[in-house]
């Protein structure tokens, strides 16, 4: 090949190499910034769904692997309550292969929530902070629309109408802090709950609806665990308010989700019986003695487990 003829070929090669380098740099840049974008998105979504400021310390999206992690999720208490976190989570691990996120059905193999702390607080007027959170959750759900008249034309596509499925949801190392409810040091009684495992959660509303519903499922499952533990000193008024909040959650999540939570709570029933026993004489109002408290726990836990979101199961 003559020297003049080789010049255009070398020039073409340099252009191709330059384009490839730019593509690589853009890809690397996207990978570097995707975590911060996801972090901001999760914070904004949490704030919208729960109606209170939500923050995340760190997010790692597994672009090349099937695992993503969220570290240090914190949800503020509603206005008018103590300046503490309503909900904090040490870590969330999401196991979802990429191909499971792009089809007509979104599939998450496993969602593990670890080191969850929930603060249940009673205000001076008797209302609970969780009641306010549940009201916010309701508002974040899409409004139920009446069915349109029959038409031969195809309906317009919705933003995301795909079905979303979580094969397994694990909530591990759970602590509920009862504030201004049952005495305790500085008005706070910490309650350790057993791990909860929920399976086959599904939603027909896509990712946005799933985010709201999973938030409701987590809060509802933890609260129902507190009710099922039949803790001495809660009082019928507080238990009634908790049950009302749980029933409120049941009003906006689907039947399959409610059933899955019910099964999960029943699976932890034996461990929940020991929660009331283990508290013993913690705080004023809780301690009529371990023996008497244990008897009431055993008598009441069966009724508390019936009808997770209100009402007895037939």
What stretch of H or E contains 212?
Answer: helix 206-228
Domain of residue 165 covers 8-142+161-305
Mean pLDDT of successive 10-residue segments in the chain (314 residues)? 62 64 52 64 82 90 78 93 94 79 79 94 89 87 50 48 84 92 77 90 72 85 87 81 87 78 83 69 42 36 44 43
Instruction: Indicate whether 75 belongs to any domain.
Output: yes
**Predicted TM-score (pTM) of this structure:** 0.73
Establish if 114 belongs to a structural domain.
yes
Between CA 121 and CA 129 the distance in angstroms is: 6
Evaluate whether residue 196 is within a structural domain: yes
- Cα(162)–Cα(257) distance, integer angstroms: 16
* Number of domains comprising the chain: 1
> Is 310 contained in some domain?
no
Per-residue buried b or exposed e for 19-56, using 16+ beta carbons within 10 Å of the residue's own CB: eeeeeeeeeeeeeeeebeebbeebbebbbebbbbebbb
Name the CA dihedral angle for 93, 98, 103, 107, rounded to a multiple of 10 degrees: -20
CA–CA distance from 22 to each of 19, 58, 162, 198, 203 (Å)? 5, 28, 35, 46, 40
pLDDT at 292: 39
Q: Quick check: is 118 in a domain?
A: yes
Query: Does 240 fall in a domain?
Result: yes
């Amino acid at each position: 090949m003559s020297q003049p003829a080789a010049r255009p070929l070398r020039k073409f090669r340099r252009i191709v190499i330059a384009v490839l380098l730019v593509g690589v740099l853009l890809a690397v840049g996207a990978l570097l910034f995707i975590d911060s974008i996801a972090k901001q998105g999760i914070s904004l979504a949490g704030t919208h769904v729960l109606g209170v400021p939500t923050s995340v310390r760190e997010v790692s999206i597994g672009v090349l692997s099937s695992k993503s992690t969220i570290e240090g999720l914190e949800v503020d208490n509603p206005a008018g309550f103590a300046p503490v976190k309503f909900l904090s989570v040490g870590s969330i691990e999401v196991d979802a292969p990429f191909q499971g996120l792009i089809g007509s059905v979104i599939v998450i193999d496993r969602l593990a929530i670890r080191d969850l702390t929930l603060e249940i607080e009673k205000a001076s007027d008797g209302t609970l902070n969780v009641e306010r959170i549940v009201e916010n959750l309701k508002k974040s759900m899409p409004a139920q629309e009446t069915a349109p008249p029959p038409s031969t034309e195809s309906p317009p596509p919705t933003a995301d109408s795909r079905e979303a499925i979580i094969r397994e949801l694990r909530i591990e190392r759970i602590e509920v802090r009862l504030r201004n409810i049952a005495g305790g040091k500085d008005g706070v009684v910490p309650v350790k709950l057993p791990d909860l495992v929920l399976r086959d959660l599904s939603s027909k509303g896509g990712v946005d609806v799933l985010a709201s519903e999973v938030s409701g499922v987590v809060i509802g499952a933890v609260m129902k665990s507190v009710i099922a533990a039949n803790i001495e000193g809660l009082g019928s008024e507080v238990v009634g308010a908790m049950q009302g909040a749980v029933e409120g959650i049941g009003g906006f999540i689907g039947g399959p989700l409610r059933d899955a939570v019910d099964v999960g709570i029943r699976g932890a029933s034996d461990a929940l019986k020991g929660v009331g026993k283990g508290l013993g004489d913690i705080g004023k109002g809780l301690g009529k003695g371990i023996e008497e408290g244990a008897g009431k726990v055993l008598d009441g836990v069966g009724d508390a487990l019936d009808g997770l979101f209100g009402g007895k199961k037939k």
